[in-house]
Structure 1
Amino acid sequence: MVPLPEAWDSGASQWAAARREAYADDLAGPRSLAAVSAASHRSEADQDPAQ
């Protein structure tokens, strides 16, 4: 699971628009992003998954 800003920095900026949209809208996978509180979201920001 990779946040959109990290994906962009890691190469998604080179993807075709349709591929980026499909990546951002993929909710079917078992690792899809889940809604979280604003505080939780801010605490993680767009860190690299290794962080």
Structure 2
Amino acid sequence: MLAQYAQENPKSWDQHLSKLAFSIRTSVNETTGDTPAYLNFGRDPKLPLDLL
């Protein structure tokens, strides 16, 4: 996934880590049926669309 974010400019991979981490933390795990954020904090984080 990180390679896709930094495809145009490979030297900027570190600028995309927060987007990648958010994507991973909010993705539902097939085995648990929950997101990593929910398992860690007991609630899902607000998504950008939730703030509109």
Question: What TM-score do the two structures reach when normalised by structure 1?
Answer: 0.29
Question: Which has the larger helix fraction?
Answer: 2
Higher RCO, Cα 8 Å, sep 6+: 1
TM-score (norm 2): 0.29
* Structure of larger gyration radius: 2
